[in-house]
């Protein structure tokens, strides 16, 4: 039982490039979410999903897209990377709004 997995662990992008951060969970949880963590800013919610086919915006959604075609996967897409998106990205999963379990994170640098 792996819990929440994220790939890649590290990524360097050039400004304007696109990429997808992968998140998968094997706990059959309905609720999944993406956060970014920046020094001095704490963790901020980007997008979340309450089940397959249902997504919604969080606090800082601009520049990011998500989709949820299965219960297990919740990828985060950066359409045109900007230096302001340099951050550590965490995916989380939970049964509704009960205990949330976090993945190990993806450290992204945009040059």
Partner 1 sequence: KQEVTQIPAALSVPEGENLVLNCSFTDSAIYNLQWFRQDPGKGLTSLLLIQSSQREQTSGRLNASLDKSSGRSTLYIAASQPGDSATYLCAAAPGKLQFGAGTQVVVTP
Token pair of 58 as six digits: 């969080």
Residue 5 or 18 having the CB closest to partner 1: 5
Site string for partner 1, 18-57 (x = CB under 8 A): ---------------x-x----xxxxxx--x---------
Q: Which DSSP letter does residue 53 get?
A: T
When asked if residue 103 is in the footprint of partner 1 (CB under 8 A), the reply is yes
Please, what is the minimum distance in Å from the beta carbon of residue 22 to partner 1? 15
The CA distance from 60 to 52, in Å, is: 21
Token pair of 26 as six digits: 């094997």
Please, what is the minimum distance in Å from the beta carbon of residue 3 to partner 1? 10
CB 46 within 8 A of CB 61: yes
């Amino acid at each position: 039982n792996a819990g929440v997995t994220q790939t890649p662990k590290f990524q360097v992008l050039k400004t304007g490039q696109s990429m997808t951060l992968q998140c998968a969970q094997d706990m059959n949880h309905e609720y999944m979410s993406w956060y970014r963590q920046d020094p001095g800013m704490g963790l901020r919610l980007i997008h979340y999903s309450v089940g397959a086919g249902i997504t919604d915006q969080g606090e800082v959604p601009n520049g990011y897209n998500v989709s949820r075609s299965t219960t297990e996967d919740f990828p985060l897409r950066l359409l045109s990377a900007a230096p302001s998106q340099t951050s550590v990205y965490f995916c989380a999963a939970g049964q509704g709004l009960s205990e949330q379990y976090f993945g190990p994170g993806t450290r992204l640098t945009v040059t």
